[in-house]
Amino acid sequence: MSSQLPKISVVTPTFNRCDELEHLIYSINNQTLESKYFELIICDDGSTDGTEKTIKNLQKNIDFNLKYIFQKNSGPGIARNNGVKNAIGELIIFTDSDCEAEKNWLKNIYNSYLNGDFDAFGGPDLAKDDFLPIQIAINYSMSSFFTTGGIRGHNKNMLTTFYPRTHNMGIKKDLFLKLGGFSTLRFGEDIELSNRVHKEGAKVKLLKDVIVYHRRRTNYSKFFKQVYNSGVARINLGKRDSNMIKLVHTLPAIFTIFSFSIFNFYFFSPYLSILIIMFLFFGLVLVSIIGAISEKSFKLFPILLIVIPIQIYGYGFGFIVAFIKRYILKQNEFAGFLRNFY
């Protein structure tokens, strides 16, 4: 490769995740793409856990350009915008501080970029075998066609337009600047930007060989808050642009309402109610078995029995609450659980 070839800037926002940043940074250090072609910019969104000290210690043990930027807590979108301002690359790549990059991640991106394959791209986020069982289960639930994976759109079974998300997303810097970067949304800001990329008529591609490993939440409470925020965010996105709410996005909320309505049916038709409950439970068991088989670990089965309902009902409740506040009560844009944006 010639030294005149373009460079890549990887931008990662973080907030109180110094324990996870090490995995990301070392995975970037182990990339098969020569380090002279890329840099990593860590945008610290007001951390108080010693992130800066961790970064300075790691800088002594790596072979690539690692930049550290600190800002007052403003949200991940603003942190990414700040990172892009300090980027030298003509291609900007976003990943999260709880991710690890597969060793050929940057090389595959770089080759695709040189071929002119995209103006913006997204890639899959998978689980590694050494992740905690709950993280593997959550990853399956987040990406499976049987839950909300069809909404996320990471495979041929996607039910809606593919919107790259910032755990594994790239965009030409000039296009990013033309669009004005990320909005002030604290959740769903990546979908909002991807929507503007599509409306611009840019070439958006799913690169299936561009892989990051995503360390998901480590307990059920954090996971519920995350998916609840996703439901809230979808309504906020729809209020900004009605094209960002499709029928498919309402399905978890419809399912949530239907499920809890069954208890009211019991007084009119107890046998029918019990039959429906048994049918829903059988469906949950079946999907959990499929997930355990897919991940080649049957110990995930009891975890999936908990994670999948959290995934659907958490999103559904967030969507319903936000719909009532935004569309019925005419309230202003709001966020869900504010401490859960990283």
Q: CA–CA separation, 270 vs 252, rounded Å?
A: 25
Residue by residue, DSSP assigns 242-298 as GGG--GGGGHHHHHHHHHHHHHHHTTT-HHHHHHHHHHHHHHHHHHHHHHHHHTT-G
Report pLDDT for 268: 82
More confident residue, 68 or 3: 68
According to DSSP, residue 204 is labeled E
For residues 48-71, average pLDDT: 94
> pLDDT confidence of 159, banded at 50, 70, 90?
low
pTM comes to 0.90
For residues 72-81, average pLDDT: 94
Asked if pLDDT for residue 305 goes beyond 90, the answer is: yes
How is domain 8-129+162-217 classified at the architecture level of CATH?
Answer: Alpha-Beta Complex (3.90)
Report pLDDT for 208: 94
Asked if pLDDT for residue 340 goes beyond 90, the answer is: no
Short-list 140, 95, 129, CA closest to 301:
140
